[in-house]
Structure 1
Amino acid sequence: MRKHVSLSTSPLFRIRNGIGMLFSPLFFHGNASSPIPDFHGEEEDEEVLDVSHCVIQDKDLLRKSQSSGLYVLDLIDNGALEPDPTIYTKLLNKCTQLGKLREGRIVHTHFRQSQFNHYLVILNSLLNMYGKCGSPDDARQMFDEMPTKDMVSWTALITAYSQNDRPIDALVLFPQMLRLGFKPNQFTFSSILKAAGAVPNDRDGKQVHGFVVNYGFDSNVYVGSSLVDMYARFNLMDEARFVFYSLLSKNEVSYNALIAGHARKGEGEHAIRLFWKMQREDFRPTHYTYSSVFTACASIGALEQGKWVHAHMMKSGQQLVAFVGNTILDMYAKSGSIEDAKKVFNRLVRRDVVSWNSMLTACAQHGLGKEAVRCFEEMLRTGIEPNAITFLCILTACSHAGLLDKGQYYFELMKKYGIEPEVSHYVTIVDLLGRAGHLDRAERFIKSMPIEPAAAVWGAFLGACRMHKNIELGAYAAERVFELDPHDSGPHVLLSNIYASAGRWSEAAKVRKMMKESGVKKEPACSWVEIENSVHMFVANDDAHPQREEIHKKWEEICCKIKQIGYVPDTSHVLLFVDQQERELKLQYHSEKLALAFSLLYTPPGSTIRIKKNIRVCGDCHSAFGIMRRGEKSYCETPTVSTIFMVAFVLVGTTGSIRNQYLSPTSTVMVGVVALFAICLLHIGQVWH
């Protein structure tokens, strides 16, 4: 008996003349190799469809039904579709691809009742589905119930644990598998190395590396890329580079792993050089490549290179996905270009909580407290729920801008969203109260904390004491920090500076002596500047730079000119017991001053110069740059002065208002230098003469 079905109205079967059979449909008629039936018979008004023939489009595989839950399974139950192992495999692969755990469970239930419930291929597909859909416990249960297992089974379970943040469980399985005589393949090693890179120490990873060599996979590009990534996650960049350059062939994944490792470690120059090398070898950057390179540019303040990479990404036709957009935004913010950061934020098609957090961080870094508040309120209006990082960003912005009431209000607002304050949140409140001069309130707040105050909390209080020159409270806070973190140089330096600024040189000397005896070393101050796509670093009193004499001479010229218009070296920032002349000499060659002099030597008029520093900017440097800005008008009087004061200096750093910039305990300050239009006027005047 043949059943006549109108193809235009049939609710059960959708056929496209067999064309789609070659691309993505399932075709079943006893077996997958059956010929496609010819539905173009003699009858022109009505097509003929044998119920035993069925073409199911790929998009209909997981079509829901009221009976079994899936339409395809209903066809099997109703006899319209002949059972076949391929059906279950295709369904499970589709569930895995789309992350459909609920539908995967339905297929699993139906498969258990089928005649194929012992097929190892389908059992492995189930294992893989549970792992990829975020249910490693179900995968483990499946694994334990399997009557037989092969290498694919072990690899699927190891991968399930590795991809679901269960690295210890994955690492425990590996030796068990070896003891049973199974030989790992490239997929096994890739997954176990990912797990090894997620545990606290590198011991397991190095042991797995030994097995990689023993089994002959050390030249495999996929395993090699996983090794590079594993070593990079432990900041073992020498080992990561050794593996990378030992690979006979490389791909985008191996490049991405090494670039990301350098970016995470703060070695931006290495990451950027690798990106250029990747281009020369004709590898196409991925979203992950660009994300890592933008992070690298942000770490060293390489704004111009960051802009070039941004333009390269746009020209290559890459879509601006959310996580890459967030790293671009962060790069512009950290490199001192807040306007570019805003443009990127406004162009994001979809703004998630990370996007808003990045914008809040940008506002906080540039002292735009009120704008950060507006941004935060807009975020709440759009329905994005803030997380702990969001509150940390807005509290930091309030602290840097001196918005005491707003900061306290937002701290209390955390309760509404069920967010328990972490140590970092308490630190920002102590910093907020301390900057406002409420040292007694800050101390009471610390003592009322529901958790034990960490060294960072007392460190913030110590910074406030330094700011307001409170020696007694500063000494008390320093003692608390020394107890909790005796090897941190920052508190030692702060306490020494508190004593020195008050003229208590003997106490300052004792602190320095204690540092020496404890082996605590002060982090050296250094500044970076980007010139012609190269980053140059300077340290205070830099004698090793090849252009040392030129740089020193240039700064001495600048210093001489600004003294004529009112600059007086602020020797109170030299916290050493030396005479006045020696104090002035100590101020002369600070790293940011040398970076500026070098930039003026090697950049054309009208260039923008951005200097990044690893610690707070010195108060004297801050004052000198301010006087240089006020002295820019003197370019009209003499040509010599005009060549020196052809730029205006604006502190745009990362810690709040300009007035408090050099007092901030945070670590990064940007000096933005904008060329004057007056140079053009001067040149015109010279032509007229």
Structure 2
Amino acid sequence: MKKLLLRPPSLPSTRAPPHFPTSAATSLPEDFSSSIIRDKDLLGRSPVPQSINLRILELVDAGSVEPTSKLYAQLIKQCAQRSKPREGKLVHAHFLKSRFFDNPFFHISIIDMYCKCGSLVDASKALDGMPVKDTVAFTALITGYSRSDEPRSALELLPRMLGLGLKPNGFTFSSLFKACGAVGRLELGEQVHCFGVKLGCDGHVYVGSSLLDMYARCGKMDEACSVFDGLGSKNEVSWNALIAGHAREEDGEKALQRFWEMKRCGFEPTHFTYSSVFGVCASLGSIEQGKWIHALVIKSGQKGSSFLGNTLLDMYAKCGSIEDARKVFDQLERKDVISWNSMLTGCAQHGLAREAVRRFEGMLKLGVKPNQITFLCVLTACSHGGLLSEGERYFGLMKEYKIEPEVEHYVTMVDLLGRAGLLDRSQKFINEMPIRPTAAVWGALLGACRMHNNAELGQFAAERVIELDPHDSGPHTLLANIYASAGRWSDVARARKAMRASGVRKEPACSWVEIENSVHMFVANDESHPQVKEINQMWEEIHGKIKEAGYVPDTNYVLLRVDDEQERESKLQYHSEKLALAFALLNMPRGATIRIMKNIRMCGDCHCAIKLVSKVMEREIIVRDMNRFHHFSGGSCSCGDYW
């Protein structure tokens, strides 16, 4: 077992004054008020009834209503709250012709209104039209860009701002850090950080929260932790940023530690907090932690949003409890396309192809429009369940919904045909694809060749994968395994030599099991666990029982050249999932469901052995490998041996 240690946090070093990206000043091509008036004409021809705001403006035009600062402020506020940018343009036009034109407050409010309505081009024009520009106006537009899908534009505004002699404030820096994190510009973010320190704007909690989020999004968790620890006061936003950062870096253990620390410090988790930790529990397969945290959500009295419900559903499905996933799905007040996709994914992962098809058909009957992910989910389910005709029909159905297949859909179709043993059809499908096959496409064919022991086609597919992705160890390993199953040991040696020559390394197989909130990890022939003697004795006892029940070791899964048959059989007995299973049987209560996770595909011999263990030990055993879940019970598996 390995224990991961974090390096001690370090503060970013002080650097020279920042060098920001430059951009040409935006020019106003035409009179802005004229364009707004033209929009008014368009609105007048629209079949949509005019709103109260437009009626008020008509009364102002007629002289029936006196325009006041309070009136303009209220109209701008309503346009922002109701996201009505076209009405906002009309208000803007009136304002430009009013006696309040010189009031900077209204210019800033209009910029803010356009930003909240998503009309960033209009917001930029409004800034250009200001008679006197100030720091607050620039900050409003920078904030708008940082919250949109145009964060680079936020960064490009800073040199313009500095060129006018305007100094950023704390809110400006907060938005700039958000933009740097969104585009992954660590070097620029560090320069902005140094600039903020120079201006004394780094001490506020909202600035610090944005700063640590920037470092976390750029993968610099040591710096993020250092910023967090240095905050004079912390809030939910800073805790969320730190927890989400650990989650993104796949340091689930640290993310969960920070979550419980947040609770101990008296901070109430938000939906964003829970979403991050549910994602962590899903990646770790930690259902016990997930259930505890789910109970906290219920206890807190927070009304579950569809966003949180979807992450909870996904967590239960990925932790092996499809029953709990179904319950969460059924209890959702509002099921959006993401909810349906999460449920379909869960069905696919658990080998419930027929259920996935039923739910997909039900989704269509309810009028929920599928998207590209929906089709990918149902196609994956068909592939895992061997539903060839259904999969081909749904692939064709994408055209009816005007959804263009992406490479992932083609990969799934190659997998669908290949799993069914239709290797020639699978290769023909690849050759007729309208897009160039990727490494993943050829990899799907290679995986099918491994299942059906087709060395010749497997070699061809492996060469295509290696050509397109020379740093992937997968094709070398699969090809070596195909040769090993066929007893072609010279070819095995050649494949492994090619892998070493390319500098790629195979990921070592490991399995882990969670017991009482502690995760125990095993590799093949593991001697490092404190209970190693008891574990080995337990497996020897189990091995004897399943042999009496008909277990015959499948030595085709011995991927090393061993001539002695007895020695070949012994090589199979201490695979990582078997050790994890023996450990769980030693330490879990009688009758409790055993959940094991594995980082690569489970081997066929272990699959056969665990089926019989579930029968002779009368236990439900769930194994999650890199492809799917296997539910073992009573001597059979949910995959129907089609996997």
TM-score normalised according to structure 2 size: 0.87
SS in 2 for 1:530: strand
Alpha-carbon separation, structure 2, partners of 1:379 and 1:651 = 28
What residue is the counterpart of 2:573 in the other structure?
588
- Distance (whole Å) between structure 1 residues aligned to residue 527 and residue 200 of structure 2: 50
The change in CA–CA distance for 1:308 and 1:83 in structure 2 (over 3 A counts) is: same
Residue in structure 1 matched with residue 26 of structure 2 by the alignment: none
Letter matched to residue 533 of structure 1? N
Q: Which of 219, 227, 252 is equivalent to 1:243?
A: 227
Q: Structure 1 residues 159 and 630, CA, compared in 2 at 3 Å: closer, same or farther?
A: same
Match of 2:551 among 540, 557, 567: 567
1:648 maps to 2:619: yes
Q: How does 1:202-213 map to 2 (within 5 A)?
A: 202-213=186-197
Aligned partners of 1:614 and 1:667 also within 8 Å = no
Q: Is the 8 A contact 1:342 1:359 kept in 2?
A: yes
| CA shift digits 1:296-333 (9 cap, x unpaired) | 11111111211111111011111110110000110111
Residue aligning to 1:7 = none
* Distance in 1 (alpha carbons) for counterparts of 2:100 and 2:309: 47
Which digits, 9 at most, give the CA deviation of each residue in 1:258-317, with x for residues without a partner?
A: 212222333222222211111101101111111111111111111121111111101111
> What residue identity is the alignment partner of 2:606?
C
Q: Which residue of 1 aligns with 2:84?
A: 100
1:467 is aligned, of 451, 455, 470, to 451
Aligned residue identity for 1:485? D
User: In structure 2, what is the equivalent of residue 621 of structure 1?
Assistant: 606
Q: Say if 2:469 is the partner of 1:498.
A: no
Question: Could you say which residue in structure 2 is the equivalent of 1:601?
Answer: 586
| Residues 309, 328 of structure 2: 8 Å contact kept | yes
Cα distance in structure 2, aligned partners of 1:526 and 1:221: 42
Residue of structure 2 aligned with 1:178, choices 155, 158, 162: 162
Q: What per-residue deviation string (whole Å, max 9, x for no partner) do you get for residues 156-195 of structure 1?
A: 1111211121122111222332343322222111211111
Q: Which residue of 1 aligns with 2:425?
A: 441
Match of 2:386 among 402, 424, 434: 402
Q: How many residues are treated as equivalent by the alignment?
A: 587
Contact 1:65 1:71 in 2 (8 A): no
Task: Let me know the Cα RMSD of the aligned residues.
Answer: 2.2
Kept in 1, the 8 Å contact 2:216–2:246? The answer is: yes
Structure-2 change in CA distance of 1:79 and 1:674 (3 Å): farther
Contact 1:612 1:669 in 2 (8 A): no
SS in 2 for 1:452: coil
Counterparts in 2 of 1:615 and 1:187: CA distance versus 1, 3 Å: same
SS in 2 for 1:611: strand
Change beyond 3 A, Cα 1:409–1:509: same
SS in 1 for 2:511: strand
Alpha-carbon offset, residue 66 of structure 1: 5.2
1:141: which partner in 2?
Answer: 125
Cα drift, residue 71 of structure 1: 4.6
Kindly provide the amino acid, as one letter, of the partner of residue 120 in structure 1. Answer: P
Distance 1:127 1:583 in 2: 74
Distance 1:310 1:246 in 2: 31
1:232-273 Cα distance to aligned partner (Å, 9 max, x none): 223332222222222222110111112122223332222222
> What are the within-5 Å matches in structure 2 for residues 59-458 of structure 1?
69-73=53-57, 76-77=60-61, 81-458=65-442
Q: CA deviation at 1:75?
A: 5.5
Instruction: Give the letter for the 1:628 counterpart.
Output: V
- Report the counterpart of residue 35 of structure 1 in structure 2: none
Q: What TM-score results when the alignment is normalised by the length of structure 1?
A: 0.81
Uncovered stretches (5+) of structure 1, i.e. residues with no partner = 1-63, 632-644, 655-665, 676-689
How far the C-alpha of 1:585 sits from its partner, in A, is 3.5
User: For 1:437-480, what per-residue CA distance to the aligned partner results, in whole angstroms no more than 9, with x for missing partners?
Assistant: 11111111111111110100000010011111111110000110
Distance 1:612 1:293 in 2: 18
CA contact (8 A) 2:181 2:214 kept: yes
Deviation at 1:81, TM superposition (A): 4.9
Q: What secondary structure does 2:290 align onto?
A: helix
Mapped to 2, the partners of 1:597 and 1:250 lie a distance apart of 45
Aligned to 2:638: none
Residue range with higher mean Cα deviation, 356-365 or 67-76:
67-76
Structure 1, residues 36-87: CA drift from partner, whole Å, max 9, x if none? xxxxxxxxxxxxxxxxxxxxxxxxxxxx985984354456456665432233
In the alignment, what sits opposite 2:641? none
Give the aligned partner of residue 507 of structure 1: 491
Query: Taking structure 1 as reference, are residues 351 and 67 closer, same or farther at Cα in structure 2, changes over 3 Å only?
Result: closer
- Aligned 8 A contact 2:320 2:622 in 1: no
- SS of the equivalent of 1:527 reads strand
Q: How many angstroms apart in 2 are the aligned matches of 1:307 and 1:435?
A: 35
Residue segments in structure 2 that go unaligned for 5+ positions in a row: 1-47, 636-643
Distance 1:99 1:521 in 2: 53
Q: CA deviation at 1:652?
A: 6.2
State the alpha-carbon separation in 1 of the partners of residues 142 and 373 from structure 2.
Answer: 32
What displacement does 1:383 show? 1.2
Q: Would the alpha carbon gap of residues 241 and 92 (structure 1) be closer, same or farther in structure 2, given more than 3 Å must change?
A: same
Cα distance, 1:670 vs structure 2: 5.5
Q: Residue 613 of structure 1 contacts residue 670 of structure 1 at CA under 8 Å; is this kept in 2?
A: no
Quick one: distance in 2 between partners of 1:115 and 1:322? 47
Pick closer, same or farther for the CA change 1:309–1:672 going to 2, 3 Å: farther
Contact 1:462/1:491 (CA < 8 Å) preserved in 2? yes
CA distance in 1, matches of 2:368, 2:386: 26
Q: SS of 1:70's equivalent? A: helix
Moved more, 296-305 or 593-602: 593-602
Give, in whole Å, the separation in 1 of the partners of 2:621 and 2:253: 26
- Equivalent residue letter for 2:273: T
The answer to whether the Cα contact below 8 Å between 1:615 and 1:669 also exists between their aligned partners in 2 is: no
In structure 2, the residue matched to 1:482 is: 466
CA drift at 1:610: 0.9
- Offset at residue 497 of structure 1 (A): 0.6
Answer whether contact 1:616 1:669 (CA < 8 A) is retained: no
Measured in 1, the distance between the counterparts of 2:570 and 2:634 equals 28
Q: Deviations over 1:327-347 (max 9, x none)?
A: 011011111111111111111
Shift of the 201–518 alpha-carbon distance from structure 1 to 2, 3 Å rule, reads farther
State how far apart, in whole Å, the 1-side matches of 2:486 and 2:49 are.
80
SS in 2 for 1:605: coil
Contact in 2 for aligned 1:606/1:674 (Cα 8 Å): no
Q: Secondary structure at the match of 2:399?
A: coil
Contact 1:614 1:669 in 2 (8 A): no
Higher relative contact order structure (alpha carbons within 8 Å, sequence separation ≥ 6): 2
- C-alpha deviation, 1:201, in angstroms: 4.7
CA distance in 2 between partners of 1:68 and 1:315 (Å): 43
Q: Name the SS of the counterpart of 1:529 in structure 2.
A: strand
Computing the radius of gyration from Cα coordinates, the structure with the larger value is 1
Alpha-carbon distance, 1:137 to partner: 0.9
